[in-house]
């Protein structure tokens, strides 16, 4: 089990799972329609570059069956369609309102004829058979999950042995000046962008808190290694403001 317990994802402290689960569904239901605009503006356009690197590290080929966990409005899924054209993508998320945006994007042809199915799924308890997928991707999802080891074990279970997981998440810049700047941006910048696009400042205060409460790169790598993965590596992007962890399922 790795000694972890259910946490409040805003603080990292132990709490019943429903505290985080109810909040995350409420937050992403409220901001689903403006989510992509917010992401693009608040990252100063870097989100596209981060996604492309995630896709590049995920070992996706034309025959891959891919699971996108906490896939939201489909940002990762459609980047994969654009850059790799795999055999199939299962796009899953906990919040139906986020998937509704993704479904409109499929109808608009953003899947570029790649077969994409959507399903409401809790990453901590997935309805897929063991060894179902070649690749699992997750961007900005694991931070919102109260039992992260359980979600990671689920990912390891549904991946084929030797399959790749690639997880993009906000992280902690190792250099002190970058870290101080980033903390200030999280405290004032992110809620301000959020208020500008959605009028829901509190939802973005939560996002900032959850980023600051998320484990550092090395600690998260250790969590992955204790949950059924080998060859765990990470790569910092934008001075470590985000990191991509990759690993293979045992
Ligand atoms: C910041 S969004 C990221 C969406 C997308 N991956 C992207 O790159 O834009 C986080 C997503 O995680 C989802 N999520 C939170 N908890 C989850 C859980 N337990 N299982 C599956 N998805 C979850 C939320 O509903 C939300 O859509």
pLDDT digits 0-9 by tens, 186-241: 999 999 999 999 999 999 999 999 999 999 999 999 999 999 999 999 999 999 99
CB 135 within 8 A of CB 67: yes
Q: For residue 45, is it within any domain?
A: yes
Percent of the chain with pLDDT over 70: 98
Q: Is the pLDDT of residue 1 over 70?
A: no
Ligand 1 pocket mutation pick from 8, 23, 24, 190 by most atoms within 8 angstroms of CB: 24
Mean pLDDT of the residues in the chain:
96
CB 77 within 8 A of CB 103: no
Distance CA 235, CA 248 (A): 15
Residue closest by Cα to atom 1 of ligand 1: 140
Q: For residue 4, is it within any domain?
A: no
Number of domains in the chain: 1
Q: Is the pLDDT of residue 164 over 50?
A: yes
Ligand 1 centroid, distance to 119 Cα (angstroms)? 12
Q: For residue 33, is it within any domain?
A: yes
Q: For residue 9, is it within any domain?
A: no
Determine the pLDDT at residue 5.
Answer: 78
CATH number of the domain residue 235 falls in: 3.40.50.150
Tell if the pTM clears 0.85, that is, is over it: yes
CA proximity to 157, closest of 121, 187, 123 = 123
Stretch 6-35: mean pLDDT: 95
Burial of 133-148, coded b for 16+ CB within 10 Å and e otherwise, reads bbbbbbbbbbbbbbbb
Residue closest by Cα to atom 27 of ligand 1: 72
Over residues 30-89, the pLDDT tens digits come to 999 999 999 999 999 999 999 999 999 999 999 999 999 999 999 999 999 999 999 999
Structural domain range at position 186: 17-249
Q: Is the pLDDT of residue 3 over 80?
A: no
Determine the pLDDT at residue 224.
Answer: 98
The gap from C-alpha 110 to its chain's centroid, in whole angstroms, comes to 20
- Is ligand 1 within 6 A of the CB of residue 93? yes
Q: Please give the backbone phi and psi of residue 231, each rounded to the nearest 5 degrees, phi first.
A: 55, 45
Q: For residue 117, is it within any domain?
A: yes
Q: For residue 12, is it within any domain?
A: no
Q: For residue 153, is it within any domain?
A: yes
Cβ partners under 8 Å of residue 68, min gap 6? 74, 76, 77, 80, 89, 90, 91, 92, 136, 137, 138
Ligand 1 pocket mutation pick from 141, 170, 244 by most atoms within 8 angstroms of CB: 141
Q: For residue 81, is it within any domain?
A: yes
């Amino acid at each position: 089990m790795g000694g972890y317990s259910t946490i409040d994802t805003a603080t990292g402290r132990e709490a019943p799972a429903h505290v985080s689960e109810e909040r995350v569904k409420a937050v992403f239901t409220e901001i689903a329609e403006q989510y992509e605009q917010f992401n693009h503006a608040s990252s100063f356009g870097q989100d596209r570059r981060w996604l492309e690197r995630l896709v590049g590290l995920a070992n996706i080929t034309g025959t891959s069956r891919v699971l996108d966990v906490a896939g939201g409005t489909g940002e990762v899924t459609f980047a994969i369609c654009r850059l790799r054209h795999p055999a199939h993508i299962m796009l899953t998320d906990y919040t139906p309102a986020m998937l509704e945006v993704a479904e409109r994007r499929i109808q608009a042809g953003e899947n570029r004829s790649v077969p994409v199915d959507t399903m409401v799924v809790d990453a901590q308890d997935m309805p897929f058979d063991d060894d179902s997928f070649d690749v699992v991707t997750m961007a900005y999802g694991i931070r919102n999950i109260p039992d992260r080891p359980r979600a990671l074990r689920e990912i390891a279970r549904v991946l084929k042995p030797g399959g790749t997981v690639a997880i993009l998440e906000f992280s902690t810049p190792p250099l002190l000046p970058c870290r101080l700047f980033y903390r200030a941006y999280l405290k004032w910048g992110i809620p301000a962008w959020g208020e500008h696009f959605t009028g829901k400042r509190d939802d973005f205060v939560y996002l900032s808190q959850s980023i600051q409460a998320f484990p550092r790169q090395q600690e998260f790598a250790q969590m992955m290694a204790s949950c059924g993965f080998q060859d765990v590596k990470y790569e910092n992007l934008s001075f470590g403001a985000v990191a991509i962890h990759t690993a293979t399922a045992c």
